[in-house]
Structure 1
């Protein structure tokens, strides 16, 4: 097969979060859901809690975005990372970024 007539880039972020004064899964949801909703609303990304669902004070959030422009995608991921890092109710312990370009398998 030849070159595709389009370019597609997929970027993902995985955030490992420590939550503040949270004593139940219900309280945890009240912290995590607004962050996910803001990411989706501001940047039109897919976002979800993807790990640590059974722990009150830890959360893993996943974010994914698709673009035809690598620079635009990098900018979106940077903005998402800054948004989560700036939230006072969580501490960002780690973030992992993956970037898939058109020549990746």
Structure 2
């Protein structure tokens, strides 16, 4: 993260001193080379219902299979985050990091469509957040 040095005005046209929080040193950047770089984190909490599951072992096989297939097809992090001791309820957490909010939203859409294709479990609820 980069922040302005104290006492530096935004209207100054020449060079501005910026403090880098990584190095702790001041850096001079000309106004034409300065640009903002954003990091967008897209997250989703996917709640699924699998009525045919009657044991935790059976549920664990389904969760492992879905997570492995999603990881192999998309470059995202996915894991079971809640309801680990409930047989028929599956709650997966998903996260991706990009430079564009629209792209993060599209990735989540593609992952949801893929999960619907590869499993018979019903997606009951999806909560999304873009940070």
Show structure 1 runs of 4+ deviating over 6 A: none
Matched, 1:56 2:87: yes
Gapped runs of 5+ residues in structure 1?
101-105
If the length of structure 2 is used for normalisation, what is the TM-score?
0.70
Larger relative contact order (Cα-Cα within 8 Å, sequence gap ≥ 6): 1
CA RMSD of aligned residues (A): 1.7
For residue 44 of structure 1, the aligned residue among 42, 55, 75 is 75
* Secondary structure of 1:10 counterpart: strand
Specify which structure has the higher proportion of helix: 1
Shift of 1:75: 1.4
Matched, 1:28 2:67: no
Q: Deviations over 1:3-32 (max 9, x none)?
A: 874210000011111013111100001111
Quick check: 2:43–2:129 contact (8 Å CA) kept in 1? Answer: yes
If the length of structure 1 is used for normalisation, what is the TM-score?
0.86
Shift of 1:85: 2.7
Quick check: 1:20–1:89 contact (8 Å CA) kept in 2? Answer: no
Matches within 5 A, 1:1-105: 1-2=3-4, 5-100=36-131
Q: Distance in 1 between matches of 2:116 and 2:107?
A: 14
Quick check: 2:101–2:130 contact (8 Å CA) kept in 1? Answer: no
Q: 1:17 to 1:95 in 2, by over 3 A?
A: same
* Count of aligned pairs: 100
